[in-house]
Amino acid sequence: MAPCEFNIKRGASFDLLVRLPSRFADGQFAGWVPTSQVRSDSGGLVAALDVEWTDTAATRVLRLLKLDTTTWPVGQLWFDICLESPEGVRVYTDNARFEVIRGATEHG
């Protein structure tokens, strides 16, 4: 798996925009439903992310969101995105790795 691509402080909201590669035509994924999960290295589920198209016509940019990450473990985590067609065809992105780090200011 690839090295960590970014850091997030535990407790900060996970809010990420993901752009699909230009090799896909605008609108190619219209009607497809995106889902995403964050997992630990052992494969344990950390969180199901809220995922939505930011541009429903072009279906080029996805927003991945989890407002509360206070229970996420410190260390390396990973996620991918699944796009499912109305007919049930599933396409997955590559895995992306990130690191949850401890912050000095904690809430809750």
pLDDT one-digit tens code per residue, 26-82: 999 999 999 999 999 999 999 999 999 999 888 999 999 999 999 999 999 999 999
Q: How many independent structural domains does the chain possess?
A: 1
Confirm whether 52 is domain-assigned.
Answer: yes
Confirm whether 33 is domain-assigned.
Answer: yes
Predicted pLDDT at 76? 95
Place of tokens 């996970």: 14
Confirm whether 82 is domain-assigned.
Answer: yes
The structure's pTM equals 0.90
CA-angle at 92, arms to 86 and 96, nearest 5°? 145
Query: Does position 1 have pLDDT exceeding 60, yes or no?
Result: no
Tell me the β-bridge partners of 99: 7, 76
Q: CATH number for the domain including 11?
A: 2.60.40.10
The pLDDT tens digits of the residues spanning 93-103 come to 999 999 999 98
**Full domain range(s) for residue 54:** 7-101
The two three-digit tokens of residue 12, written as one number: 């900060």
Tell me the β-bridge partners of 34: 83
